[in-house]
Amino acid sequence: MLRNTSIIDKYVKLAESANASIMVDGDTIHIVAKPEYIPGLAGKLFNEFKCVHRTCVATDERPLNGFFSLTHLFTDDSNGFYVALKTYLEGDKPRAPSIIEQVPAADWCEMEARDLVGIEFEGRSAYRLVLPPGWPSDVYPLRKDFQYDKRPSILPVSEKITITEESSTVPVGPYHPALHEPEYFELYVEGEKVVDVKYRGFHVHRGIEKLGESRMTYQQVNFLAERICGICGFEHSTCYALAVEKAAKLDVPERAQFIRSIILEVERLHSHLLWLGVAFHLVGYDAGFMHMWRIREKVMYLSEYLTGSRKTYGINLVGGVRKDINEEKKPKILETLDTLEKEFKELVGIATSVPQVKRRLTGTGILPREDAVKLGVEGPVARASGVDRDARRDLPYAAYKHVSFKVPVYTEGDNMARTLVRVDEVFESISMIKQLLDQMPKGPIRLEEFDIPPGKIGVQVVEAPRGGDIHFVVTGEGKPYRWRVRAPTYNNIPALRVMLRDQPLADAPLTIASIDPCFSCTDRVVVIREDGSVYKLSLVEGVKL
Q: From the annotation, which residues make up the binding site?
A: 209, 229, 232, 485, 518, 521
Q: Is the dihedral of CA 372, 514, 544, 167 positive or negative?
A: positive
Q: Give, in order, the Cα–Cα distances in Å from 373 to each of 391, 400, 444, 495.
A: 16, 25, 41, 10
Q: Residue 40 carries which side chain, given as an amino acid letter?
A: G
Q: Provide the annotated binding site for Mg(2+).
A: 209, 485
Query: Could you give phi then psi for residue 195, rounded to 5 degrees?
Result: -110, -20
369: left (phi > 0), else alpha (psi -120 to 50), else beta? alpha
CA-wise closest residue to 155 among 182, 171, 126, 134: 134
Distance CA(335)–CA(403), nearest Å, equals 20
**DSSP character at residue 376:** T
Name the helix (H) or strand (E) containing 219. Answer: helix 218-226
Distance CA(197)–CA(502), nearest Å, equals 10
Distance CA(94)–CA(173), nearest Å, equals 36
Which residues are within 8 A (CB) of 363 and not within 5 positions of it... i.e. 6 or more apart? 414, 416
Give the angle subtended at the CA of 101 by the CAs of 376 and 472, to the nearest 5°.
45
Q: Provide the annotated binding site for Ni(2+).
A: 229, 232, 518
Q: Provide the annotated binding site for Fe cation.
A: 232, 521
How are beta strands 28-32 and 21-25 bridged, if at all? antiparallel
Q: For the chain, how big is the Rg over CA atoms in Å?
A: 23
Distance CA(54)–CA(382), nearest Å, equals 13
Q: Give, in order, the Cα–Cα distances in Å from 313 to each of 186, 237, 238, 260, 395.
A: 37, 10, 11, 11, 25
